[in-house]
Amino acid sequence: MAFKALFIAHAPDADYKKHRTVIDTGKYKLFSIVVRTQEEALQVSKEYLQNESIEAIMLCPGFIHGDVAEIFEALEGKVSVNVSRGDGPSTKISVEALKKAGYFRS
């Protein structure tokens, strides 16, 4: 039986029904989905708990503390919910790259 995890990232042009992938090594199955909104993240999280019996969720740094708590509560504490965060300099580099990619409205 594989350990099953879900990675969720944000993008302003995401279509969560289309922008998804699966990596399966046999012992580790990683689902990866890009969503546009927190509501989509909640929907996807619930769907993958119900349909795939995931054990963990990893979130991109764009999720704020309240988003993380909302996902954890929506899944009734049945799934580990973690956030990928960098140190100060790494965050600054990422923010600049996201600005260049058009993630933020001016």
pTM: 0.89
In a domain, 105, yes or no: no
Q: Which residues pair with 23 in a beta bridge?
A: 30
pLDDT at 94: 86
Q: Strand 20-24 and strand 28-35: pairing?
A: antiparallel
CA distance 68 to 58: 10
pLDDT at 63: 92
Q: Strand 28-35 and strand 56-59: pairing?
A: unpaired
Residue 36 is classified by DSSP as S
Identify the domain containing residue 55 by its residue range: 3-100
Residue 19: CATH number of its domain: 3.40.50
In a domain, 106, yes or no: no
Of 78, 76, 77, 96, the residue nearest 86 (C-alpha): 96
In a domain, 94, yes or no: yes
In a domain, 96, yes or no: yes
Give the number of domains in the chain: 1
Tokens of 63: 């999720």
User: Going residue by residue through the chain (106 aa), what tens digit of pLDDT does each one get?
Assistant: 899 999 999 999 999 999 999 999 999 999 999 999 999 999 999 999 999 999 999 999 889 999 999 999 999 999 999 998 888 888 888 888 888 888 877 5
CA distance 22 to 30: 6
Dihedral (Cα; 36, 37, 38, 42), 10-degree rounding: -60
pLDDT at 106: 57
